[in-house]
Amino acid sequence: MIEPATFVRWFRSALPYIHSHRGRTFVVHFGGEAIADPAFSGLIHDLALLHGMGIRLVLVYGIRPQIEARLRRRNLACRYHRGLRITDAAALECVKEAAGEARLEIEARLSMGVADSPMAGVRLRVASGNFITAKPLGVIDGVDFEYTGEVRRVDAEAIAHLLERELVVLVSPLGYSPTGEVFNLRAEAVATAVATALKADKLLLLLEGPCNLGKERVAQLTSAEARQHLNRGAFSEEIAPHVEAAVRAVEGGIARAHLLDRHQDGTLLLELFTRDGSGTLISRQPFETLRPATLEDIPGILELIEPLEREGILVERSRERLEMELEDYCVIERDGLVIGCAALHPFPEAKTGELACLVLHPDYRGENRGRRLLEHVEHRARALGLQRLFVLTTRTSHWFLEQGFKPGDFTELPQERQRRYDVRRNSKVLFKWL
């Protein structure tokens, strides 16, 4: 039984993630191994939970082991070239059967609402369909791949329409051609194509093991770094196609692709709702960036400063004021969350700037981010031709003294700022020459 205090702390810490994921579109890919695993229901429950939190889900499934089992049963050989299956007419029959059976299995699991299970009372509606148009891969190195195909088009409009109606969309690794033929596709490639066409917020790929470089888990990579590792063959043969799919998705405009070890219980929840995640995030931008604030950052900034306003460490700021002064703000964004901010309010006539609202989320203090924000503000101030910075602080003066600020008097503030000085707060005034 989880301790009440631990539960409450954990639940509160998940709140910013819950807010930030609501209404977003996530494409989740898992292989046929996951479907065949007795632990599959755990994954289904976690997906139901994500759906329940207002996340729009598209599930793309693979069927490789199911196809192989059918081929074996019929004494047919598994034929591969360059790691890709050659699908002849007999193999295609196995592919169709396996895809149909997997679809029924997933739909049945998503429909379960057994009392005493995490699915009790959940009513999930699932849709599948002919979303993928495919074309034959053709002949490569003189080898005809026959019914092995590649994605030609994704009917993103139809999928988006179903997501709009709160359905979970299920996509098989089969595609249809305008000539009425069925093609066997790589599920990871389908997932990437679907995510890109939908302009999804995330692509989550569940792998058969951790996405390690050597023995170490890598928590984050930019798409350029991941591409370099791929080129030098740093990933295992099993993981590499998934990394490739993730990199392509990011190169195709998806902000974040996550590679997760499906054997870790609750891997989706850990990755999506905890600070350190559980897998490997691939993004175009570095995972953490310091940049000017935009309108979208306002809820995040307000959430960050509210506890400090309540404690009286910061002066209260309304949303309207924040919107008006937005161009003075910069933020540190980490995986979509605002974890730090600072503002520079310039007083050009006095060649002075006020450093204000310097805050870091408590989980991210003590790792030099405060100093980085300050350096950024100083850099901007210099660029604006300012010669001095000042800060008004009640509780943080020692931190500023350590950063080169010197105590001063409020009469040294620009006139305009003196008039607004709140004598009841009795803040200390500190200056730094740039």
Ligand X SMILES: CC(C)(COP(=O)(O)OP(=O)(O)OC[C@H]1O[C@@H](n2cnc3c(N)ncnc32)[C@H](O)[C@@H]1OP(=O)(O)O)[C@@H](O)C(=O)NCCC(=O)NCCS
425 near ligand X (CB under 6 A): no
Q: Is 368 in the site for ligand X (CB under 6 A)?
A: yes
Beta bridge partners of residue 243, listed in sequence order: none
125 binds ligand X per the rule CB under 6 A: no
d(CA 162, CA 159) in angstroms, rounded, equals 5
Is residue 366 at the binding interface for ligand X, with CB under 6 A as the rule? yes
Considering only 370, 386, 389, 413, the residue that binds ligand X (CB under 6 A) is 370
Cα–Cα distance, 414 to 195 (Å, whole number): 53
Query: Which range of residues in 70-78, 156-164, 343-351, 388-396 is near ligand X by CB under 6 A?
Result: 388-396
**Among the residue ranges 206-214, 277-285, 291-299, 390-398, the one whose residues contact ligand X (CB under 6 A):** 390-398
State in angstroms the smallest separation of the CB of 362 from ligand X: 8
Q: Examine residue 358 and tell whether it contacts ligand X (CB under 6 A).
A: yes
Nearest distance from C-beta of residue 377 to ligand X, angstroms: 11
365 binds ligand X (CB under 6 A): yes
How far apart are the C-alpha atoms of 93 and 63, rounded to whole Å? 13
Which residue number, 72 or 395, has a Cβ lying nearer to ligand X?
395
Identify which of residues 132 and 358 has a Cβ nearer to ligand X in the complex.
358
Closest C-alpha to 208, from 229, 251, 237? 237
Cβ closest to ligand X, residue 126 vs residue 392? 392
Q: DSSP 3-state assignment of 120? A: coil
**Phi and psi for 101 in degrees, rounded to 5?**
-65, -40
Among residues 50, 55, 359, 429, the one that binds ligand X under rule CB under 6 A: 359
Q: Which of 69, 63, 167 is nearest to 123 (CA)?
A: 167
CA–CA gap between residue 248 and residue 242 (Å, rounded): 10
By beta-carbon proximity to ligand X, the closer residue of 54 and 362 is: 362
Distances (CA, A) of 271 to 87, 158, 398: 36, 29, 37
Would you say 223 and 283 are in contact if contact means Cβ atoms under 8 Å apart? yes
Does 382 contact ligand X by CB under 6 A? no
Q: How many residues bind ligand X (CB under 6 A)?
A: 19
* Listed residue (130, 168, 132) closest to 152, CA to CA: 132
Residue 38 or 366 with smaller CB distance to ligand X: 366
DSSP 402: H
Binding of residue 421 to ligand X (CB under 6 A)? no
CB of 219 to ligand X, least distance (A): 20
Q: Which range in 55-63, 110-118, 254-262, 368-376 contacts ligand X by CB under 6 A?
A: 368-376
Strand 256-261 to strand 202-207: parallel, antiparallel, or no bridges (unpaired)?
parallel
Nearest approach, Cβ of residue 207 and ligand X (Å)? 34
The answer to whether 219 and 281 are in contact (CB under 8 A) is yes
The residue among 196, 190, 194, 172 whose CA lies nearest residue 104 is 172
Asked if 398 is part of the footprint of ligand X (rule: CB under 6 A), the reply reads: yes
In terms of Cα–Cα distance, which of 308, 309, 301 is closest to 333? 301
Give exposure, 361-394, as e/b (b: 16+ Cβ within 10 Å): beebeeeebbeebbebbbebbeeeebebbbbbbe
Q: How far apart are CA 378 and CA 371, in angstroms?
A: 10
- Taking the complex as a whole, how short is the minimal distance between the CB of residue 380 and ligand X, in angstroms? 17
Beta carbon nearer to ligand X, 60 or 391: 391
d(CA 255, CA 230): 19
**Site membership for ligand X, residue 386 (CB under 6 A):** no
Residues 245 and 151 sit within 8 Å (Cβ to Cβ): no
What is the dihedral sign for C-alpha 199, 202, 206, 209? Answer: positive
Site stretch for ligand X (CB under 6 A), options 158-166, 193-201, 271-279, 352-360:
352-360
* Shortest distance (Å) from residue 352 CB to ligand X: 16
Using CB atoms, what's the residue nearest to ligand X?
370
Tell me whether residue 177 or residue 427 sits nearer to ligand X (CB atom).
427
Residue type at 94 in one-letter notation: C
From candidates 399, 408, 410, 421, binder to ligand X by CB under 6 A: 399
Among 109, 202, 334, 369, contact with ligand X (rule: CB under 6 A): 369
| Choice between 197 and 392, CB closer to ligand X | 392
What would the x/- binding string for ligand X be over residues 293 to 332, using CB under 6 A? ---------------x----xx------------------
Binding site for ligand X (CB under 6 A): 308, 313-314, 358-360, 365-371, 391, 393, 395-396, 398-399
